[in-house]
Structure 1
Amino acid sequence: MAKYVYPAVFTKEENNAYSVDFPDVENCYTCGNSLVNAMEMASDVLAMMLCFREKEKKPIPVATPIKEIQTNADSFATLILCDTTDYPLVECEPNAE
Structure 2
Amino acid sequence: MTYYYPAVITKKEKGGYRVDVIDLEGCYGEGADLEDALENARYAGVNWLLAESEDQSDFPMQTHLDDIRLNPGQKATMLAFLMPREGWEE
TM over 0.5: yes
Following TM superposition, by how much is the alpha carbon of 1:75 offset from its aligned partner in structure 2, in angstroms?
A: 1.0
Say if 1:3 and 1:85, in contact at 8 Å, map to a contact too: no
Matched residue, 2:29: 30
Structure 1 residue ranges without an equivalent (≥5):
91-97
TM-score scaled by structure 2?
0.85
Instruction: Please give the secondary structure, in 2, of the residue aligned with 1:46.
Output: helix
1:73-97, Cα deviation, whole Å (9 max, x unpaired): 1211101001122498x8xxxxxxx
1:30-84, Cα deviation, whole Å (9 max, x unpaired): 2111001111111111111011111222530011111111111121110100112
* Identity across matched positions, percent: 30
Quote the Cα distance in structure 1 between the aligned partners of 2:85 and 2:37.
21
Runs of 4 or more above 3 Å deviation: none
Residue 10 in 1 paired to residue 12 in 2? no
Say if 2:29 and 2:38, in contact at 8 Å, map to a contact too: no
RMSD, aligned α-carbons: 2.0
1:28/1:58 CA distance change after superposition, 3 Å: farther
Quote the Cα distance in structure 1 between the aligned partners of 2:7 and 2:74.
10
